[in-house]
Amino acid sequence: MKEATTCNRTDYYKDSKRSTALRLIGAALSLVLGTVGLAAAPGQCESGQHLRMPTTLPTPRYTAPQFMDDLLLVKPAGGADADEIKEILEEVHGAVVGRIGEGGSILVVKTEKGKLAETEKQLAKDKHFAGIQRNHIYRPQQLQTGTNDPAFSQEWHLTAMHITKAWEYAVGQGQRIAIFDTGCSPVIADLKGQDKIGKGYDTLSVLYAMQNGAMMAPLDFGLSAYLATEAARNNNRGNPGDSNGHGTRVATVAAARADNRANTAGVAPNAIIEPVLVTDPMGCTGANDATIIEGLYFAKKNKIKIVNISWGNSFTNWAGHTLLWDEIRKYHDETGGLVFLSAGNNGSRDSNLANDYMVVVSGVDRSLQLSKSSNYGNSVYFTAPSEGILCSDQNGQTVMVDGTSFAAPIVAGVAALVWSANPGLTNKQVLAILKASCIKPEGAASNLNGWNEYYGYGMPDAEKAVKLATGRM
């Protein structure tokens, strides 16, 4: 691996006037850069720089799945009669406290205390329902570490992935990244200003409105909850700040300002952050399926093409998250966006299959070897640095962090660079470009598509990716 070297940030970080010209040729290039052609594009890394295959695997740390003990997510079957649905739910003493998903197609049902499993089992047998799942809770995929002095030259991941070289062509201009997390601090130097951080969206207040509306009028089959929910959506306060700091750290890894004499530079320094609160700002309650689905509603409505979720590591289990999967698929197909997920820090092997809807990112250390804590397995799509990552906390201090929570936004930031270099690309083309640019393990056994379970398709090379996006390779 090449060690990070001191460099002049101004040499790499451009206001990028040339990007205007790039936009003008974007549409033409997108006609040339078909998905099939991109998949065959050269993806070899510079001589001497390769990922290293792990010599030992992480020690697995099992974490039991967590879920809210009184909420089910229920999707009625197509054509199901509303009165019959109401009657069935009343029989199991279930109260509709809200509706989420596209067109409010998913019912949020509050069960009797202690009767979650029993209610789930009864409803699962009924032909009136197309899908039922528990509302799982997720935790941030960050490991506890100390602090370090702010220093651009110490951001080793920017050099390892040739991100600073990519800035000669694109710096994330015109792109928005939705950070599904604890919120973001809008006053620190690296995120301050309307040109840097959007209002965002507070999914938690919507969920609270559902629950409060149901308590106010429990017998009106969710009407009060529906009205309260819509009011919460229409009058959404957006990002209320970040008491935990996890969301701010993730956001600044992806897109902290550059050349502002403060802290560090993000992967896509000109991209705009949209904070989507999916847990309380303290991070105590944890994100959950319902808040993430509500966040996807916001991202889809506002045509945000990049979503980062650095929480939990069980999304890839289709059997437990059928309704969440369906909403992520709709976001991918209908909005043309990409969802980036952290692989998790349990040191476990994931047997669930990878898919283009959820881009799972594992983590590597400074030697470009699988991190001692990173999950790996069939679900992994890419890898990126996850140890010794410098970013900003909610108080504007530079901190050093570990965990796949930060590998995912690094790759999300590279996607922002690619899209800013050529806004005419589709999500499938962006994904193909990232795959074609990847730094691979030297001499590693991979399948015919160049994939292996530790690093997926490899570690994206940002410089090569933006060059592929603009037809320079």
DSSP count for the chain of H helices, then E strands:
15, 16
pLDDT at 44: 33
**pTM, entire model:** 0.74
Output the DSSP codes for 314-353. Answer: -TT-GGG-HHHHHHHHHIIIII--EEEEE--SS--EE-SP
| Selection from 422, 433, 430, 424 nearest residue 22 by Cα | 422
Residue 133: phi, psi to the nearest 5? -150, 160
Beta-carbon neighbour count of residue 383 at 10 Å? 33
End-to-end CA distance of the chain: 23
pLDDT tens by residue, 412-424: 999 999 999 999 9
Distance CA 284, CA 277 (A): 13
Q: What is the DSSP letter of 452?
A: B
pLDDT tens readout for residues 232-257 = 899 999 998 898 999 999 999 999 99
Residue 379: what pLDDT? 94
Specify the pLDDT at position 153. Answer: 65
Question: Left (φ > 0), alpha (ψ -120 to 50) or beta: where does 359 sit?
Answer: beta
What is the sign, positive or negative, of the torsion defined by CA atoms of 200, 202, 203, 209? negative
- State the alpha helices, DSSP H only, in 92-162: 116-124, 156-160
Q: Which amino acid is at 153?
A: S
Task: Please tell me the predicted confidence (pLDDT) of residue 145.
Answer: 40
Low-confidence ranges of the chain (pLDDT < 50): 1-48, 62, 143-150
CA distance 197 to 186: 7
Q: What is the pLDDT of residue 33?
A: 42
HEC profile for 153-178? Answer: HHCHHHHHCCHHHHCCCCCCCCCEEE
